Amino acid sequence: MNIRLSCLCFFALLSCWALAQDKAISIAQVDLQAISELEVLAVEYDEPKSLLEVTNAYPVAEVHGKVSVGFLGKLEDGVTESDWRTWAAGEDAVTAGACREGIASFRVDAYELEKLWEVPMELVEIASRAVPYVNKVRYGTRVDSVHAGFNLPQPYHGEGVLIGVLDWGFDYTHPMFFDTTLSTTRIRAVWDQYRQAGPSPGNYGYGTVAESPLDYQLMGSDTSNVYGYSTHGTHVAGIAGGSGAGLGLKGMAPAAEFLFATLMVDEASALDAFEWMQSVAEEDGKRLVINNSWGLPQWGTPDGSSLSNQFIDALSDEGVVFVSSNGNNGDVDYHIDHTFSGPSDTIRSRIKFYPLNANPSAWGQNLTLWGEVGEAFEMGFQVITGVSNVVAESPLFNTNDGPFMLDTIEVVNNDTIIYDVVLEQSHPANGRPFMQMRIHKGGANVSVVMQLTSESGRVHAWNYTHLSNNVGNWGQDFQAAQPGWLGGDPFYGAQQPACGHSVIAVGAYSSEFLNPVGTIVGGTLANFSTYGPTLDERLKPNVSAPGVNVESSLSSFRDGGYSITNSVDFDGGEYEFARLSGTSMSSPATAGVVALMLEANPELTPADVRSILESTAREDDNTGELPAEGDHVWGHGKVTASQAVVASLTWDSTLEIADIDFTKQVVYPNPVRAQLWFSGLPSGESTWEIYDIHGRVCQTGSELHNSFIDVRGLEPGIYIIQVRSTKSSKEFKFLKEQ
């Protein structure tokens, strides 16, 4: 039996379109779909509390007693930030947020969404939902050498630098956020965007800001949200800059200060938090690096053209360094791309579905497709039983028919198939044809096969798990279930904000470490680390850092269970630690390294920071030899703090890393595997000797100036090299790796 019920979603848009006839505001169809759904819900639920309960899949939050929806917008030509704020101040239903280079965040009363068509904007996007990307690390990143001042003018710990963390699940009382003497908190300020009782920061009009240690202690933690009382932010921040809590579990930059913002799970609130953090850094006269261990996998444009990425680029131009997780879908073949060559060229692929019983919010799959500018494509699906018995088939939806929306229910073989589709002939953000289809099937009685066709051009498709609360971030396979069908791959996974032009996107690997017998083990790529490139073929990730079984702090206010690895008593309470994995962990490791670099040279631009990290990233047997431009799995290689800080001290953005004159007397890389290089040594004839820690001579030679020694013959361990010239004698300690 095959029953179909269809309805075009125009009814919910009539009120909006009626008001929009004389106003040319571009809004993508996928956003119009969400707006229309919110309008329907607002009519059905006239009590704000009830509306909040049923809209947790949207960027909706309570702000000063009102239910508001988050948006991003691009101001009309000729409209200044001052004009925009003046206009918004006169509208009770509209609240202005952050604004940079004409890109603004704002919120609109959910019961007055018709006001959206009156804002002085030329382009509006509904704010996307943000989701988290969930001892050895210091060694893997060579931060231990920086903390020890190995071949540096001094040790560096991130002093004088602010680390901003946008996340959820902050424990403001955790000893990891105190100094190493556990006497003074290093939290500079917090903004809990959910908390209603207290002063809100600046121009934003919502949430609670606190800037005194007493206030942090009284607050204790941030507010429960869609993730409950989480611990993600506490773990992430501990990696970036934890003090060690007296246990030796130091983060990358244990002297840096923190800015914590509990994100209201949407883009608009993220932009507000970015701008707030920048304002605090400017007030303090300190450099700022912002870590984002979250992403927007089903929303926005994966080519860096979204309004939120434009906003990030503007703040980067003003000196803010952005670091982001690249994502956790490297172990899933959830992407397909195909270049079409004629009207009969059609590809098919079976869609793997996430089990509905695996998550209480599981709904189905979200197929997102992007084509090339001016190249239309068609997509639909077949429902099959057995191996190849087609029992139902959707229409082929053509992007040339956009803008367009459709909701449909089918009952096939006692299995309910629900799907909706939105499409664009030319997406407002980048001009590409776009389609998104969400599909639900009730059981395992049938399979669903995607059909995709075009006469020409290249089309990319992704298969994401769709949750009813819109916070799913993991992919499912495209499967070549029949001969001639197309299977998926893990490439082109970089999404917002990691896909941005100015964002340092970080992949993950399992950190190297010395085992009890002195052998270096580990260092392999994390199976989950998302592959690049971006949709527009730019390199992502930029670099990789440790992100597997990383030990860090847990929130004492959390409501989830973890396998505890350590605990410490502090100020009358017990604080615990656990090992977690994800690019959520590798991103703050890199952000902490950036803090060390900015302490060493506060004049570095964000572009300088990215160039140094890429240029000093190391290769090894696990990465293999990487091309000069990097690759889409490892980026440019493994973050190497010891080299990055040395380069930061003498950085000249007009030079390549190989051309830098390391004016300090250094040996590098340290630790070393093959070639030990020297720079800044006295001129003149020289001789050298390498000793082990027992004083035995292991190697000797001469003629060292600006050259290297092959140390592959040395056993792993700690060595001292003594260099003698006619004018002086110098000693350097180095670690030989296997």
What's the CA gap between 193 and 273, in Å, rounded?
9
Is residue 446 within 8 Å of residue 353, measured between CB atoms?
no
352 and 317 share a domain? Answer: no
DSSP 574-630: EEEEEEE-SHHHHHHHHHHHHHHHHHH-TT--HHHHHHHHHHH-B--TTT-SPPTT-
Same domain for 139 and 113?
Answer: no
Residues 46 and 21 occupy one common structural domain: yes
280 is a domain residue: yes
Q: Which of 107, 127, 147 is the last residue of a domain?
A: 127
**364 and 439 together in one domain:** yes
The answer to whether residue 72 sits within a structural domain is yes
Same domain as 106, residue 12: yes
Three-class SS state of 460: strand
Does residue 503 fall inside a structural domain?
A: no
Q: At what angle do helices 583-600 and 606-616 cross, to 10 degrees?
A: 110
Q: Give the DSSP per-residue string, 129-171.
A: BPEE---HHHHHTTHHHHHTTTTSSS----TTEEEEEEES--B
363 and 451, same domain (yes or no): yes
Q: How high is the pLDDT of residue 603?
A: 93
Rounded to 10 degrees, the C-alpha dihedral 425/428/434/436 comes to: -120
559, 421: one domain = no
Q: Could you report the average pLDDT of every consecutive run of 10 residues in the chain (738 residues)?
A: 41 37 75 90 90 84 83 94 93 92 93 94 85 62 83 88 96 95 95 89 88 92 81 95 92 97 86 96 98 80 92 96 94 96 94 88 92 97 90 94 84 84 93 95 87 97 87 85 95 93 96 67 90 96 94 91 89 92 93 97 95 91 91 95 88 57 57 72 69 88 67 89 74 82
Closest CA to 133 of 590, 583, 633: 583
Report which DSSP code applies to 120. S
In this structure, the answer to whether residues 313 and 364 fall within a common structural domain is no
- b/e code 388-407 from CB counts within 10 Å (16+ = b): eeebbebeebbbeebbbbbb
Same domain, 68 and 199: no
Token pair 């001292």 in the structure block, residue: 720
Q: Whole domain around residue 407: which residue ranges? A: 335-479
Place of tokens 């000893």: 175
- Amino acid, single-letter form, for residue 625: E
Is residue 289 within 8 A of residue 316, CB to CB? The reply is: no
Residue 259 inside a domain? The answer is yes
Q: How many domains does the chain have?
A: 4
495 within a domain of the structure (yes/no): no
- 477: its two tokens: 């396979």
Q: Which of 127, 146, 180 is the last residue of a domain?
A: 127
From the list 566, 469, 518, the residue with the least C-alpha distance to 56 is 469
Q: Which residues contact 489 (CB under 8 A, 6 or more apart)?
A: 333, 335, 336
What's the CATH code of the domain at 395? 2.60.120
Query: What pLDDT is recorded for position 518?
Result: 57
Using DSSP's 3-state secondary structure scheme, residue 453 falls into strand
CATH classification at residue 606: 3.40.50.200
Same domain as 199, residue 163: yes
- Residue that finishes a domain, picked among 110, 127, 144: 127
Tell me the sheet residues that pair with 436: 368, 422
- Are residues 580 and 563 part of one domain? yes
**Whether residues 348 and 399 fall in one domain:** yes
H or E stretch at 34: helix 29-44
- Please check whether residue 466 lies inside any domain of the structure: yes
Within a domain: 528: no
143 occurs within a structural domain:
yes
Question: Any residues with CB less than 8 A from the CB of 622 and at least 6 apart, and which?
Answer: 509, 523, 524, 525
